[in-house]
Every structure is written in C-alpha cells, then in structure tokens.
Amino acid sequence: MAEDALSLGDGEEAPPSESGERFGFRLSESIVHAIDRQIVSSGLRLIMFLPAFGALMYFSTWAFSQSSPTFWLDNIEPNLGMGFATFTASLSFVVVLGYILAVSFHRYRVSISLSTFHDRVEASNSEHRSVQSLHGYDGLLYQLQTSMAHHTKSLILALAAALMLIGVFWYGTGTIFGNLFLLISASFLLLSFGQHLPTRSTPFNMVEQTGLLPAYTPPVHPSTLNMVFSDLIKTHMDPLLRSQYDEYTKILEDCFKRGVNRHFAHEKFLMTLYRHATGLDRKTLELEMSEILTKKGMDHVFSHETFTLEAWLVLLGLINQRCPAFFRMVDRLKQDLESGRKPAMADLIFEVDMENVVTDKANLFTLFHNLSDKTRTVVFRVQTPNFEPKDLALTYRLEPGEKYWWSAEALPLATEGNDDVLGKMSGLLKDSTVSWQTLIPTTTGDATVSVRLEETNGELLLGRQINVRVRAEFRQWLRSTSTYVAYLLGGLGLVSAGILLLMELFGGFTA
C-alpha cells in the first residue's frame, strides 16, 4: 500500500522508521476521524448545536441586561451574587469556548486528511502513477484547500467572538459598551458559523478508501460510453482512487479465464458487483465471478486492501445517487429479460431515461443496441425549451452485436453459463452504444425534453417525451440560504455596532 511505504527507487522501499511514522500518522487520523464523526461534525453535532445554544444565551443576556427576572431576583441572585444577564453571559462564554474547541478539533482533523492526501499523491508519483495529470485533480485540490480555508476563518472568527465577550465582562452587561461588545461578539459567532456551513456539503477524509468521493465532482465525462459500467465508474472516481483502479484492472485482466472476451468480462464483473449491491447474495456473487476469473483473480477481488466489497458498495451507491437514470434504464432492461418481454422494435433496442427531479444538471442516458446482423445508422435528436443545449442531434453507426443478446423467453437472474440475466445484460451493455448527455436547466418548475430516434433521411423511428421538475436540492438550498443569512446578519451586526460606537464616542466628545 502507498500509505505504508514510499517507493524510493527501483524496488527500494522506505526505511522501517519512516514506515512506522506513516503508520502512526494514519492511526492518529483514524482516531481523530472517529471522534469527529461521532461527536463533533456528525453524531452529536456539537459544531452545529453549540452556536445555536450560544445564540440563545446571547439573546437572554441582551433581553435581561437591565433587570433580572423575578424568579432569579427572589431565589438565586441573593445566594449567587450574580445578575441573570451576567450569568447568561458567562454561560455564553463557556459555550463559545466549547465551540472553539469543536472547530479547532474539526480543523485539525481536516488538516490531517489534507496532509495525508498530499502524502498519497507523492507516493503515487514515486510509483510512476501521476495523479496530477488525471481529470479533476486541480478541482479536487482546490475543493480541499477551500474547505481548509473555511475552517481556519471559522476558528479565527470564533476566537474573536470569545475576545469580545471579555469586553462584555469588563464593561458590564448593563452598560452601553457592554451591549456593543455583546453585539459584536454575536456577529462574529454568526460569521464563524456561516464559514463552517458550506463545508458540510463536501465532507472528506482519508481514513476510508472512498473518503474523497463526496468532495469530488467530475469535471468531464464521455458523451458515448464504450465500456459502459467501467466508463461510468472511472468517471466518478476521485483521481487518487482512479490511479489505484488502473493498477487494479491491470492485474484483474491477467486473471480473466482463457477464451473470455476482455470487454465482456469487465462488464460482467461490474454488473455482478452492482447486482450484489442491490441484493445478490454472496454465494451467487462468487459463482458468477468464478465464470470469468481464475482462482488468482478470485483472491485478488475478495482480498484486495483498497477495492473491498464494502468500498464497491459505497462507490456504486454514490453513482446510483448521482446518476439514477442510468440504473433505472438498466433495471428496466433486466426486468424485460426476466419476463421475456419483446423490445419495441424487432431489430433495435432503444431505451432512454433522465432524472425525474433536476437540481443542478440533468443526466440524459440513452441506450442503442442493434439486434440485426447488418450495420445501421440512426440519428438521435434531443429538443427542449427548458435546457441547454435546446437542440442536439447525434448520428450513431450501430454495428451488429457479437451475438444475439436478447431472449423471447423469461430468464433466471443467475445460472451456470451466460444464458441468464447477468450474462445477457453484460453482453448487451458490451455491444450497445450508450449516450450520456448533460443538460443544464435554464428555468425552474415543470420542464419537458423530447427525444427522437430517426433514420438518416429524417423518418421517425421512435419518439419519447420526458416530463421533469427543476428545483433546488433542499439540503443544499437550506445550507446556502443559512450561510447567506449568517453572513448578512453578522455583517449588519458589525456595521450597526460600529455606527453605534462612533455615535457614542462622538456624543461623548461633544458633551
């Protein structure tokens, strides 16, 4: 593994001391990440709860700055010797200190993950696997560094909020300057919280093999998928995982059984993993894998340190979340094969799907498969008034399949050989042409997309109309709105405090 030893030259490994240091660094990250996930950023979510509770204490301090409530005056203040506003201000200070500790701990965890990321990149480079040359590396690095910058600003603003509370204690809660420092402290706390919120949309860690995936957004993808599952999966892998996957597939290809088509084996391998993610049992998974892999290949798949079955489940689940249209299309073809349903055209399979609810962009997937024994050319046309591009026409030359990957009779999901749903689907995807188009919405609300399959002379073969709804993703909208509100209220608080402070000083000078 790259994290255990750095390659220093031709087969030379790092000395044991360096390896031990790297292992210790990795272990500390695991512990820190576990605490952060269970208590700070997730689980108890102290980094979210403490600012909210602190805001309540700020409001209580301001509301009772002139006089304490009756229950406090009669029962507590004579014994405690402290006004209610002073008590809530003290509690606010404790809460802000706790928030500073939470932000510091979370920032420390992020800094460890960022350092580990750079170490992994250097290790890959030393093994002649350049990560920087892969698509998406610059965007991913920018995302990680931006997240780190947000955490740093959040910590600085939280420290400023605590310092302003000291000013409240110095001048007293019932004084003009005490209230001004209270307003400034609350504004800094809001701004600190606003700095943290955007980072929750793109969390990342280096403890899990798939920890970078939530922070990675593919900048480019193929418009026509040749090896459908393989191209789709490699597109969504972060650059570090992608570089490891290339090495993984090289060994995997050497373990395919003789006589098995390499492209077919790749598609069946990934198709079987997808079916395992959707409910295929472990025994059937191993039986299907053994049809394409040697014993060495089986050991490679089921004992790999990076691409474990759990990692595959996470990766496929993420792709299913980002491209649900593709998997719906695959599931429909699977159901047609299981039931023995005939295609709409005897010599051509045409399937299309798109997200029902579009938030950021729409992924339009289309599958063409030539069931005849002759080459044919078709025109795929997309027309829509609500997306860009509004009119798209692509011409595809469809070659005959290697064999007839369909059945007029119902098929079982998995049996010995390739005359089952898994085998037929793998061959179908291998010989099919799959188009992946990204459509950018120009309006919100109801939208339509018309899809036409035509002959080269313009004759219509099949037409579909897709009705979708374009709206903002709720959690992302909530985070963005909350961030802007925090920035707005915090900024207004600082401006108001500055104006009031100048007015007080100016009034004092004139007096």
Q: Per the structure, how many domains does the chain have?
A: 3
pLDDT at 2 over 70: no
Look at residue 9 and tell me if it is in a domain: no
- Residue reference for tokens 């299913």: 320
Q: How far apart are CA 414 and CA 416, in angstroms?
A: 7
Confirm if 40 and 47 have CB atoms less than 8 A apart: yes
DSSP single-letter state for residue 214: G
Encode pLDDT of 277-308 as tens digits: 988 899 999 999 999 999 999 999 999 999 99
Judged against a pLDDT cut of 70, whether residue 144 lies above it is answered with yes
Straight-line distance from the first to the last Cα atom of the chain, in angstroms, rounded to the nearest whole number:
74
Q: In which band, very low, low, confident or very high, does the pLDDT at 227 lie, cut at 50, 70 and 90?
A: confident
Nearest to 327 by CA among 268, 277, 269: 277
Q: Decide if 8 is inside a domain.
A: no
Q: What is the pLDDT of residues 311-336, one digit of tens each?
A: 999 999 999 999 999 999 999 988 88
Residues 241 and 318 in one domain: yes
Contact call for residues 103 and 34 (beta carbons, < 8 A): no
Q: Report in angstroms the alpha-carbon separations of 11 from 31, 387, 459.
A: 32, 53, 62
d(CA 197, CA 218): 22
- Are residues 441 and 492 located together in one domain of the fold? no
Residue 27 in this model has a pLDDT that exceeds 70? no
Average pLDDT of the chain is 88
Q: Which residue has the tokens 């990204």?
A: 438
Determine contact, residues 191/146, Cβ cutoff 8 Å. Answer: no
What's the CA gap between 452 and 75, in Å, rounded? Answer: 79
**Do 461 and 489 lie in a common domain?**
no
Range of the domain at 373: 323-471
- 280 and 361 belong to one structural domain: no
* Average pLDDT estimate for 152-158: 97
Average pLDDT, stretch 8-17?
38
pLDDT band at 19 (very low <50, low <70, confident <90, very high): very low
Whether residues 260 and 378 share a domain: the answer is: no
In a domain, 149, yes or no: yes
Check: CB of residue 407 under 8 Å from CB of residue 424. Answer: yes
Which pLDDT does position 24 carry in this prediction?
43
Distance (Å, whole) CA 488 – CA 187 = 10
* pLDDT single digits (tens) 442-477: 999 999 999 999 999 989 999 999 999 999 888 899
Are 139 and 23 in the same domain? yes
pLDDT grade for 68, boundaries at 50, 70 and 90: confident
pTM of the predicted structure, to 2 decimals: 0.85
389 and 456 part of one domain = yes
Tell me, yes or no, whether 154 and 221 share the same domain: no
> Is the domain of 112 the same as that of 237?
no
Q: Which two three-digit tokens encode residue 185?
A: 């402290």
Confidence category of residue 9, pLDDT binned at 50, 70, 90? very low
Task: Report the SS3 class of residue 279.
Answer: coil
Q: Calculate the CA dihedral of residues 79, 84, 88, 90 and round it to 10 degrees.
A: -50
Percentage of the chain lying above the pLDDT 70 cut: 94
* CATH classification at residue 378: 2.60.40.10
Integer-rounded Cα Rg, in Å, for the chain is 30
Mapped onto helix, strand or coil, the DSSP state of residue 211 is: coil
**pLDDT band at residue 23, thresholds of 50, 70 and 90?**
very low
Distances (CA, A) of 328 to 108, 111, 353, 362, 367: 41, 39, 7, 14, 12
Model confidence at 13: pLDDT above 70? no
pLDDT band for position 353 (50/70/90)? very high
Q: Is residue 5 part of a domain?
A: no
Indicate the pLDDT class of residue 216, thresholds 50, 70 and 90.
Answer: very high
Report pLDDT for 61: 92
- 508 pLDDT band, cuts 50/70/90, is low
**243 CB contacts (<8 Å, ≥6 apart)?**
124, 129, 130, 131, 134
Dump pLDDT digits (tens) for 418-450.
Answer: 777 888 888 888 888 999 999 999 999 999 999
Same domain, 119 and 77: yes
